Amino acid sequence: MGVGKRSGTRVDCEIAVRLDLVDSIHVSSFEPGTIILVNPRGCAARFGHAIKIGASVRLAGLPGKSTVTARVVNCFWPGEFARFWILGLALDEPGNVWGVENPPEDWF
């Protein structure tokens, strides 16, 4: 576990989810991905495509809540041989939507 002073303690995990891209007109089904690091304000996740910073997304299939909405705050490709992109997502409504049992004290 690493410590993020602004967002709470970060917890390593592996949560399979589906990401949908949301705009003002419709929701576009995107693809499955894996959340790899969480805190009560957001997560880091691996997905097969880049998504524009600022885009609204919906994550479906979470253990703590069926769906949540978030914004893309970071998107990078980790290197020449990577087959995925890393997205930083900020939850629209913070909380333990990840189903982390016994979350760190700074999550409350």
- What are the pLDDT tens digits along the chain (108 aa)? 444 455 789 999 999 999 998 876 666 777 899 999 999 999 999 999 899 999 999 999 998 667 999 999 999 998 888 889 999 999 999 999 999 999 999 998
Is 108 inside any structural domain?
A: no
Is 102 inside any structural domain?
A: no
Is 62 inside any structural domain?
A: yes
Is 77 inside any structural domain?
A: yes
Can you give the pLDDT at residue 24?
63
Is 107 inside any structural domain?
A: no
Q: Is the dihedral of CA 72, 34, 37, 62 positive or negative?
A: positive
CATH number at residue 89: 2.40.10.220
Is 6 inside any structural domain?
A: yes
Can you give the pLDDT at residue 3?
43
Is 106 inside any structural domain?
A: no
Name the domain count of the chain.
Answer: 1
Is 76 inside any structural domain?
A: yes
